[in-house]
Amino acid sequence: MPGFELIGEEERAALNELMDEGGVLFAHGFGPMRKRYHVRELEAAFRDKLGANDALCVSSGTAAIKVALKSLGVTYGDEVITQCFNFIATVEAIVDCGATPVIAGSDETLNMDPTQLEGLITKKTKAIMPVHMLGVPARMNEIKAIAKKYKLPVIEDACEAVGAKYNGQYAGTLGDAGVFSFDFGKTITTGEGGLVILQNAEMAEKSRWYHDHGHMNLEGRPRGLDRAGITGFNYRMSELNAVVGKAQLAKLDYILEESGKRFKVLCDGVTVPAFKKRAIPEEAEPAFDTVIFEVKDKNLRDSTIALLSDMGFGTKNLPDAMNWHCSVFWDHMGFDTRTPAAMETLALLERQIAIPVVLGRSVEDYAALADALNALAD
């Protein structure tokens, strides 16, 4: 989550330059008043960085999920398989398309358990959407193999995994579509914003139409005389967000390197069996967003949370925001939230403690935290 920590002169200079160029904040048109199209430049920069066929900037990670679903034609009567541990936006987007979320439980990675996946597929299944929670990729080899067997598309919710890799490939580029979030708590931030990665040209075209009220943006036609390709909505990113995004993207490698140092020293430094480290697939390189330990003893868990507060680290999502990150709590959405797999996942999540990795704390601070956790468990 360090993106907001590094907002500085580069972002200020980019915003000032935008104003000096004419101050056009809209991503389309106004050619005589502007010098550049920054949203389009940010899309190209992400496409090149991630090695993707196409990239589309949108207004949020939530919007990115919905745009990806719409590009696949997800609608009323369809089912989309996702996982119990996610952010509520994953399921909200499915419901907002009129589809029904089908919830898989989590394995020791805390992401989608591939062994449950095949049993959840029905004739109504339209897509599979694993979520790379808190920077760790799901078991994509197994998930993709099942998806291929049933000829189902895979949407990767990589909103919390910007920069993570699997089999040496960036998360978000492994499936048919991938989505990212750039809100203020993410690895890099545009304040609000998101990105859709699409490997299929037809899906990419539909996504561009849908996120812009259906605009086809036909070459040589002013927007007022343009045609609509589909019924769309407004999920556009502004130029303000884009110039900040370009400055932040330039810092991504540094963020990952420095976060990795803190992640490693904490993970390697905690050696007592009472703190069980979250499993990371051997094919995966995480985004080093969060270190998660399973602590089965409730008294030790409570003491650990108190220690993290006293030392100024706090926790992230587990346990402090469970209501927003576990589908068991979302009865208001009108689907079966309390399946056996979901309840088992809830019990698993209730034993976890997630520690945020921030650059405002030094590597030495995380080493000291590791020593304190070892001492606490002795």
d(CA 196, CA 341): 29
Instruction: Return the H-helix or E-strand segment holding 355.
Output: strand 352-356
Those residues whose C-beta lies under 8 Å from the C-beta of residue 304, and which sit 6 or more positions away, are 293, 295, 353, 373, 376
Question: Domains in the chain, please, with CATH?
Answer: 3-249 (3.40.640.10), 252-377 (3.90.1150.10)
d(CA 164, CA 158): 9
Task: State residue 98's pLDDT score.
Answer: 97
d(CA 76, CA 163): 33
Those residues whose C-beta lies under 8 Å from the C-beta of residue 252, and which sit 6 or more positions away, are 49, 162, 163, 187, 188
Task: State residue 1's pLDDT score.
Answer: 66
d(CA 29, CA 27): 7
Task: State residue 378's pLDDT score.
Answer: 86
d(CA 25, CA 145): 43
Amino acid at 55: A
Instruction: Return the H-helix or E-strand segment holding 141.
Output: helix 140-149
Which of 311, 276, 327 is closest to 297 using CA atoms?
A: 276
Task: State residue 2's pLDDT score.
Answer: 85
d(CA 329, CA 121): 23
Q: Are 69 and 211 in contact (CB under 8 A)?
A: no
Active-site residue identified among 186, 206, 246, 316: 186
d(CA 212, CA 252): 28
Q: Are 132 and 284 in contact (CB under 8 A)?
A: no
148 belongs to the catalytic site: no
Q: Which two tokens stand for residue 304?
A: 């650990």
178-215: b (≥16 Cβ within 10 Å) or e: bbbbbbeebbbbbbbbbbbbbbbeebbbbbbbbbbbbb
Task: State residue 329's pLDDT score.
Answer: 97
pLDDT in tens, the chain (378 residues): 689 999 999 999 999 999 999 999 999 989 899 999 999 999 999 999 999 999 999 999 999 999 999 999 999 999 999 999 999 999 999 999 999 999 999 999 999 999 999 999 999 999 999 999 999 999 999 999 999 999 999 999 999 999 999 999 999 999 999 999 999 999 999 999 999 999 899 999 999 999 999 999 988 888 889 999 999 999 999 999 999 999 999 999 999 999 999 999 999 999 999 999 999 999 999 999 999 999 999 999 999 999 999 999 999 999 999 999 999 999 999 999 999 999 999 999 999 999 999 999 999 999 999 999 999 998
